[in-house]
Structure formats: C-alpha cells, structure tokens
Amino acid sequence: MAKEVTKRSENYSQWYNDLVVKADLAEQSAVRGCMVIKPYGYAIWEKMQHILDGMFKETGHKNAYFPLFIPKSFFSREAEHVAGFAKECAVVTHHRLMNDPDGNGIVVDPEAKLEEELIVRPTSETIIWNTYKNWVHSWRDLPILCNQWCNVVRWEMRTRLFLRTAEFLWQEGHTAHATAEEAEAEKTRMVNVYAKFARETMALPVVVGHKSPGERFAGALDTMTIEALMQDGKALQAGTSHFLGQNFAKSFDVTFTNKEGKQDYVWATSWGVSTRLMGALIMAHGDDNGLVLPPALAPIQVVMVPIYKSEEEHNAVLDKMYEVKKALEAKGHSVEIDDRDTLRPGFKFAEWELKGVPVRLAMGPRDLQNGTVEVARRDTLEKISEPLEGLEERIIGLLDDIQKNIYNKALAYRDASIRKVDTWEEFKEEIEKGGFLLCHWDGTAETEAKIQEETKATIRCIPVDSAVCMEEGKCVYTGKPSHQRVLFARSY
C-alpha cells in the first residue's frame, strides 16, 4: 500500500510535512534545525539552480566564492546590519578537539581558543564588501557583478523543512556600481529575473513589489520582493532584491575615482533566493495525493509502468517502452521506466502520484494489440487512452499544457484571493479567510505594527503594478489619507 498523506483540509501543516518526507524530498537530520536534502528533492533544487544560473549569466553575472566564516568584528561595522542579523547565529570559538584526559571521548581543547570568534555566515555582505575594497579603484573596475551559490546558517528557534531551517542553501548576488541609478536598475532587473523564473519555471504567479521600510533587509534603502500565495491563504516571500545605497561601501571604506576624477563611495545591491523556494513549490501546487511538479522542474517528467502477466508480455511491453523513452530523451525529456518486479502497478501509480511526476504512461498487452497506451496527467488526474502513433509529439505537447495549466490554476486562485478592503471591521473579518488584502495604509510604521499586532497580518509589498494599487483613499486602520493601496497578508 502506498504511503498515506494527510488531507489539506484536515491539517495543512501536517499535509506539507507528509509531502516533504514521504515524497523523499528532505528529512530532519541529527543536528537541530538542519535538514538532509534527499536525492529526489536535491534534483529539483539542481534544476532550479541550473535555470537561475543561466539567467544570472545572461544578465552579465559571474559566480565566485567567499569564505564561510566572518570575523565577529565585521558585523559591528554596519549599524543596521548588526541589529538585523548578527544575533542568532553559529559562533566558532575554538579550532581543536582533544582526547578527554578523563577518558570520556573527545573534548574541546581549551588551549585552542580563537583570538576573535568567527561567525558562520548568515549572509555575506560584510565579508564581500571587505573584499571588494581591494578590487575597486577606478570607475573602470565597475560594475562588479558577482553571485555565489552556498550554504548559510541562521540559528532559528522554530524550524520547518525547507521553509525555515538553521542551515539552508541559497544564492546571493552582490553587485557594486558607480552610480545610484545603475544600482537601482540592477536591483529591479534582478527582482524581475526572479519573477520570470517563478512564473515560467515554478508556475508561481508572484506579485512583485517594494517592501515597506519596516520590512526591508537590514541595511537596505529599498527591498523588492516576489510574493507568492500558498493554498492555505498565507503569503510566502520567495525572493528579494535590495538596493543598499552606499551603506556597506561606507562601512568597509570602498571608494573609487569616478569619471570626473573625484573620489566617491560605491553603490551596492544584493539579491537572493534559497531552498525556501522548494517549500513554495510544494505548497502552491500539491494536492491530497502528493506533489504536483511543473514539468520544467520535474526530475522525472514521464514515468512508464508496464502491465503484464507472462514474461513474453513483459518483454513486448518493455521493448515498446524503451522505444518511446529513447524518442522522448532525444528531445531532452527525462523518462523513467518503473520495472520493479516486486510491486503491483497500483502501488507504483500511487507512488509516482505522491512524487508529482507530470505524466504517467501505463501499457499492457492489450494496449500493444490495439496500438494504444493509457496516459495519466498528474495535474488533473485525468486518464485517457491514446494511440501509440505520434505519441512523442503529443506527450511533449501535454507537458507544455500541464506547465501552463498549473500556472493558470494558481493564478486563478491568487486572483480570486486578492480583495480590496476599505474598513477595519472588514479587514479583521477578511484576514481570517486568508489571501491578499489590498488596502490603503497611512504609510507609518506605527500603523503597520498595530495591524500586525491585532491581526498577525503584515504588508507583503507595495505592488509595482500601479494599475492595481494607485488610487486615493483612506488608511484602513487610521482613516488618514493614502495615495496607494498595499498588499496585506499573513505569511510564512
């Protein structure tokens, strides 16, 4: 019997955990808050990396690698940054173990205390800007457009697989520019790269916008975000891009001679997405049978299950399957034949549904005779009998169709979940139903904080799509005048 998955309607949080663990994406490790990403989950992350990396390179970025450790003193340099980041983190204080003199295994060697403690990077602005200092002298050395794929550690108290873990994998872009305009343009370019990736590859209809000042990255003058909506009506911040002004350049003394021959501080951006995207992917599209993977990210796009009684039937079906597999692989698709002889077809069907494989083909001796095959699509759970003739082209068209359908379904859900709300009574009522509320806000941090206190809702973003939100009105909480609606939601 296949593994049981909790229904979303029963316990959404348990449903999420079941999908992660039972579909073999990830599991808790022996180290508190750190996860093991299993091969099937890692294969999805690799596809994300590959596609994003290509997009970064197309926009002129190069990869590099900076140290895992950051000297403690670096964090004190940028005042806002230390407040936002340096608190809950892994601190390395010693560099040697030794045999316990009392014979109880091994202990930390007290003689091997570091002069200055090292912090395992929670993000790399400080160490990178300390490095850029030596790379930049004149405007000719700019821009610097670097990205790094790496692990980071933030000592979270409450963790959830992919969504919030002490260690996670991510990419962090760090760019240096001669002018504020260039840096602002870079920040916008990269949030748009993320939005395109989310929409086209992940089938996630994200909203692009600016964070309110209170929700900005520690040290940023502007933070842009892509916000996705999960099926339980909560928002998930899926990627951010920051305009850092000259803050880090000033803290790490990174100056350059501009075209006019004058010294100036360098302008900065940083931007990142992480393995949190895996959480978004699972929660946006999964159903009560398991994962629903967009074909663009599915490690296996097509799985084939042979149906047979005799060895002769088995061989005949397999021969045909290898033919189809070869044809699809030649066009760049990933195909697996599930020929395990100890499991019944029904079990296999349920397992591949749990794992979210977009297309499943089942073929038996009768199909061979009739020149047909049973095609099941994961997104709609429909099954139809298709002629073998011209199958490859139809499968390729079907994968395309599934990718679009998953996106459209999520888009329809999101659009139905965005409501304009104009009174505080209505706000409190509507926020309980989940989704995005488009409301007027008086622009103050006080109001933002009070709304969060009373409803747990935060401003997810001030959308860039002005058609959606540019209008005069009154703050939903204070009634003060407002020139623009912003997007509120409860969030992960």
Among 487, 428, 492, residue whose Cα is nearest residue 208: 487
Residue 433 within binding range of its own copies, rule CB under 8 A: no
Q: Which two tokens stand for residue 436?
A: 């995005």
Residue 425 within binding range of its own copies, rule CB under 8 A: no
Q: Residue 89 Cβ, how far from its own copies at the closest point, in Å?
A: 7
Residue 43 within binding range of its own copies, rule CB under 8 A: yes
Residue 412 within binding range of its own copies, rule CB under 8 A: no
* Backbone dihedral region for residue 253 (phi beyond 0: left; psi -120 to 50: alpha; all else: beta): left
Residue 118 within binding range of its own copies, rule CB under 8 A: yes
The one among 19, 161, 169, 376 contacting its own copies by CB under 8 A: 169
Helix (H) or strand (E) holding 472: strand 470-474
The one among 12, 47, 59, 117 contacting its own copies by CB under 8 A: 117
By CB under 8 A, the residues from 22 to 41 that bind its own copies are 27, 29-31, 34-39
Q: Residue 118 Cβ, how far from its own copies at the closest point, in Å?
A: 7
Query: Residue 72 or residue 250: which is nearer to its own copies going by CB?
Result: 72
User: Is 405 in a helix, a strand, or coil?
Assistant: helix
The one among 4, 91, 315, 446 contacting its own copies by CB under 8 A: 91
Per-residue burial over 164-187, b if 16 or more Cβ lie within 10 Å, else e, is bbbbbbbbbbbbbbbeeebbbebb
Q: State the binding string over 328-367 for its own copies (x if CB under 8 A, else -).
A: --------------x-------------------------
Residue 82 within binding range of its own copies, rule CB under 8 A: yes
Helices (H), ranges, 331-432: 345-354, 365-370, 391-417, 424-431
**Whole-number Å distance between alpha carbons of 144 and 486:** 34
Among 483, 486, 418, residue whose Cα is nearest residue 448: 486
**Whole-number Å distance between alpha carbons of 348 and 150:** 36
Residue 483 within binding range of its own copies, rule CB under 8 A: no
**Whole-number Å distance between alpha carbons of 135 and 129:** 10
User: Which stretch, 59-67, 202-210, 216-224, 289-297, contacts its own copies (CB under 8 A)?
Assistant: 59-67
**Whole-number Å distance between alpha carbons of 52 and 274:** 11
Residue 160 within binding range of its own copies, rule CB under 8 A: no
User: Is 37 in a helix, a strand, or coil?
Assistant: strand
The one among 20, 44, 48, 86 contacting its own copies by CB under 8 A: 86
Q: Which two tokens stand for residue 231?
A: 């099926």
User: Is 47 in a helix, a strand, or coil?
Assistant: helix
Query: Residue 69 or residue 347: which is nearer to its own copies going by CB?
Result: 69
Residue 155 within binding range of its own copies, rule CB under 8 A: yes
How many binding residues for its own copies (CB under 8 A)? 63
Interface residues with its own copies (CB under 8 A) are 27, 29-31, 34-39, 42-43, 45-46, 62-76, 82, 86-98, 105-106, 108, 117-120, 127, 130-131, 134, 140, 146, 150-151, 153, 155, 167, 169, 342
